[in-house]
Amino acid sequence: MSYLAKSGLQIAWRACAFAFCLAVTVAIARGAEVTYALHIENGHVPENVRLIRVKQNDTVHLQWTADKPSIVHLHGYDIEKHVVPGAVTDLTFTARATGRFPVNLHGGEAGAGGHGHEDTLVTIEVYPQ
């Protein structure tokens, strides 16, 4: 095999190896996609879903339903959503920041966007990859 042919194969091999490593890096950087169905009943969610653990860069879908109009607020990411009975409200975010982030229930209709009465519904723990 000639020198040029060997050089061409080496370049092709290195390009393939680089592309593979890049694809793996992008997949890791994007993280997983996770979904949690959460129902608020009398101002609370069931005990078994009050702590949600995800990894950094995961795309997190919190699908909320409620027995009465409510406002949920994900602190640290500053996302607020109105939840109404009979509908699913999707709160989606990419878990870029690590740490513990509470999702609080804000006063509902009576609190109209206010931060008067707050109860922590769920805590999101985001771990580094």
Can you give the residue ranges of every domain in the chain?
Answer: 1-30, 31-127
What is the band of 111 on the pLDDT scale with cuts at 50, 70, 90? very low
pLDDT at 21: 45
Query: What are 25-65's pLDDT values in tens digits?
Result: 444 567 999 999 999 999 999 999 999 999 999 999 999 99
- Element containing residue 22 per DSSP (H, E): helix 3-30
What is the band of 127 on the pLDDT scale with cuts at 50, 70, 90? very high
- What CATH number has the domain spanning 31-127? 2.60.40.420
pLDDT at 12: 54
φ, ψ of residue 45 in degrees (nearest 5): -110, 160
Determine if the pTM surpasses 0.85. no
Tokens of 84: 């109404």
pLDDT at 79: 97
- Other beta carbons within 10 Å of 65: 17
